[in-house]
């Protein structure tokens, strides 16, 4: 897991190193807990509908 990824150059460098888990301002600014809870619940529900179908 690479943290603090802020530029495309950093992302490409990490991809070249086969690092496939990153976080940082390039992908998203910090998210408040309440919004993160909603996002995670939406993602969970999405995957549950895909595996049950």
How far apart CA 52 and CA 7 sit, in angstroms, is 38
Query: Which domain, by its residues, includes 38?
Result: 2-52
Task: Please report the pLDDT score of residue 52 as a whole number.
Answer: 64
Its pTM stands at: 0.63
Number of domain units in the chain: 1
Given a cut of 60, whether residue 53 has pLDDT beyond it is no
39-52 pLDDT, tens digit per residue, is 999 988 888 887 76
> What secondary structure does DSSP assign to the chain, as a single string?
-EE---SHHHHHHHHHTT---EESTTT-----HHHHHHHHHHHHHHHHHHHH-
> Per residue in 3-42, pLDDT tens?
999 999 999 999 999 999 999 999 999 999 999 999 999 9
């Amino acid at each position: 897991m690479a943290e603090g990824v802020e530029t495309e150059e950093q992302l490409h460098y990490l991809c070249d190193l086969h690092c496939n888990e990153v976080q940082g301002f390039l992908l998203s600014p910090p998210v408040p807990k309440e919004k993160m809870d909603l996002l995670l619940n939406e993602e969970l529900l999405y995957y549950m509908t895909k595996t049950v179908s």
